[in-house]
Structure 1
Amino acid sequence: MWEQVQQTADFITNKTNFSPEYGVILGSGLGNFTDDIDVEYILPYSEIPNFPVSTVEGHKGALVFGTIHGKKVVAMQGRFHFYEGYDMKQVTFPVRVMKHLGVKKLIVSNASGGVNPTYKVGSIVIIKDHINFMPEHPLRGKNDERFGPRFVNMSEPYSRKMMAKTKEIASDLNIEVRDGVYLGIQGPTFETLSEYRMVKLLGADCVGMSTVPEVIVASHMGLETFGISVITDMGNEESIDTITHAEVLEAARKAEPHVRSLIKELIIQY
């Protein structure tokens, strides 16, 4: 994989002549964050060698390069999911490429189902930790020490400093945020009511189908990482009967202005 990552990073660098400090992965319904970027270059995934192509509605499928108040950023409009049929090395390939483009800090966003009774649809959750329930691990197989160590310390997968800064920003902007533990599962089905109960019993506050593999690989390569989630449905008897992907996108869309403000200010201030 090392050679593929170098090939892809070299291609992007030659195309864009851009070395970003921040990488941002935009989840379901959050793709319009790129409107906050002074865009210098847009590169569709279909033009990038070795890159998968996102197949999920709400994921546009392009790398967007530009600046936010002088900070150099590359944003992924659309991520790749294990449930789409990709293996974990493909799912996390863009994170490795970002690192080799110069990215030092990674911001990941997603939509998730809430099981914490203090949450509601539209709640914004700062991810403080995760539980990996994916059926495949992105670091399985022979380890390449050029990427990172065989055994990765996961005591702080999400930067405590970035969390604290975001909470400070949220207070200044009068945006209500929670924090919580995110549990990552394969998907693509939404959870059954019994599975939602399991998620809660395991100590998680929300559940989704992404993020965890990317954060593991970011930890492998020493990237400082921040995660944020929008609660788009609640795992209880009242809401589980009607949840659809369209409703998930709509809930994320309503929360998007606040999420965009938090991410933008975090990049500016941190």
Structure 2
Amino acid sequence: MHYPEDVKRAAAAATERLGPLPAGAVGLVAGTGLGGIAGKLEHCRDMATGDIPGFPAATAPGHAGRLVYGTMGTACPPGDPQGSIEETMPAAGAGPDGSSRPVALLSGRLHLYEGHSPRDVAFGVRLLAALGVRQLILTNAAGALDPHFTAGGLMRVTDHLNLTGRNPLVGPNDDALGPRFPDMSRAYSPRLGAVADACALSLGLRLERGVYAGVLGPSLETPAETRMLRLLGADAVGMSTVTEVIAARHLGMEVLAVSCLTNVNLPDCMAETTLEAVLATAKRAEGDLARLLAAVIPAV
């Protein structure tokens, strides 16, 4: 893959098919079992990512492989007791009535465990950036490691551990995309995190906060691995997101990530789980996630 030419060609094809992405659009990537969020968008037009030149094919179950343009959201109401919510909710980029925001949604993502290279996995994020997206929201299905978390809950990612052994920036750096050594001290935007926290509070949703461990997969963790991850400081574990975040920060994008906690990994009493169970729990949590995103997106 030859960056940035391939990314530019993909963006041109998407623009030809779907029209120009409105200014101020938020990028959204839907994780395993969470593609139904596309149904919450209004004024949609979409295309298969397989019709975008250079876009690798997604093979993971629960990933539709579509690029969707639409609008979403009603901003969460300002006015919390400390008066802090208004400060995190600029009106810039909202819809003409202040209640919605244009969205470019990737329904389905690529994973390293499918055999894709890190650059392939990052292609969707780089496409969104080429289309004009500057704020990126990533969602994923993850196993909870903190015993205080519950299956079906939501966690805002505050930081991550890249345990995949891969990085999309390995190799010659393309200065047109970003610097050779991008700073990752604030990989997840404190500003967007504050917006998400404020909106969750307004909606009465419990939004945990924690560190996400990104692993290669596709096998699930053993009890010893689960114990190790917890000792390293991880609060949840999954097989996506970190590659995309690294690519997004390389591009200078603001990032927010939210995990749907599909099960709780307790190393001393590990319960077996299956993909079917993960998808079912993600589906149950999808409603709360959609409510949160509908409030967050017009506020960012």
* Coarse TM-score class (shorter-chain normalised): over 0.9
> What is the aligned partner in structure 2 of residue 67 from structure 1?
71
- Tell me if the contact between 1:37 and 1:68 (Cα under 8 Å) persists in the aligned partners: yes
Note if contact 2:142-2:238 (Cα within 8 Å) is conserved in structure 1. Answer: yes
Equivalent residues of 2:248, 2:255 under 8 A apart: yes
**What CA distance in whole angstroms lies between the structure 1 residues aligned with 2:127 and 2:56?**
12
The answer on 1:165 being equivalent to 2:221 is no
Q: Does 1:52 align with 2:56?
A: yes
Counterpart of 1:67, as a letter, is T
TM-score between the two structures when normalised by the length of structure 2: 0.87
Q: Corresponding residue for 1:40?
A: 44
Moved more, 240-249 or 170-179: 240-249
Number of the residue aligned with 2:5: 3
Query: TM-score, normalization: structure 1?
Result: 0.97
Aligned mates of 1:176, 1:68 — CA distance in 2:
21
Letter in 1 for 2:293: I
Q: Which residue of 2 aligns with 1:153?
A: 183
CA distance in 2 between counterparts of 1:255 and 1:90 reads 28
**Alpha-carbon contact 1:95-1:218 (below 8 Å) kept:** yes
- Work out whether residues 21 and 69 of structure 2, in 8 Å CA contact, stay in contact via their aligned partners in 1: no
Deviation at 1:35, TM superposition (A): 1.5
Amino acid corresponding to residue 134 of structure 1 in structure 2: T
**Partner Cα separation in structure 2 for residue 82 and residue 147 of structure 1:** 21
In 2: Cα distance, 1:109 partner to 1:41 partner: 21
- Pick from 279, 288, 293: which aligns with 1:249? 279
Asked whether the 8 Å contact 2:59–2:114 carries over to 1, the reply is: yes
- Tell me which of 127, 130, 148 is aligned to 2:160: 130
Match of 2:122, SS?
Answer: helix
Aligned length: 270
Q: Does the Cα contact within 8 Å between 1:92 and 1:138 map onto a contact in 2?
A: yes
Structure 1 stretches lacking a partner, 5+ long: none
| 1:141 matched residue in structure 2 | 171
Runs of 4+ residues over 6 Å off in structure 1: none
SS for the counterpart of 1:249 is: helix
Contact 1:113–1:206 (Cα < 8 Å) also in 2: yes
Residues 238, 120 of structure 1: alpha-carbon distance in 2 compared, 3 angstrom cutoff:
farther
**Residue of structure 1 equivalent to 2:266:** 236
Bigger drift between 75-84 and 239-248 goes to 239-248
CA shift for structure 1 position 238: 7.2
Backbone CA RMSD of aligned residues: 1.2
Distance 1:247 1:240 in 2: 15
Consecutive unaligned residues in structure 2, runs of 5 or more: 74-94, 96-100
The whole-number CA distance in structure 2 between the counterparts of 1:180 and 1:237 is: 18
The equivalent residue for 1:113 is 143
C-alpha spacing 1:234/1:139, structure 2 compared with 1 (3 Å): same
**Is the contact between residue 161 and residue 212 of structure 2 (CA under 8 Å) also seen in structure 1?**
yes
| SS of the residue 1:33 aligns to | helix
Q: How big is the shift at 1:237?
A: 4.9
Following the alignment from structure 1 to structure 2, what is the Cα–Cα distance between the partners of residues 240 and 94?
35
- Once the two structures are superposed, the pairs formed by residues 178-193 of structure 1 within 5 Å of their partners are 178-193=208-223
- Aligned partner of 1:12 in structure 2 is 14
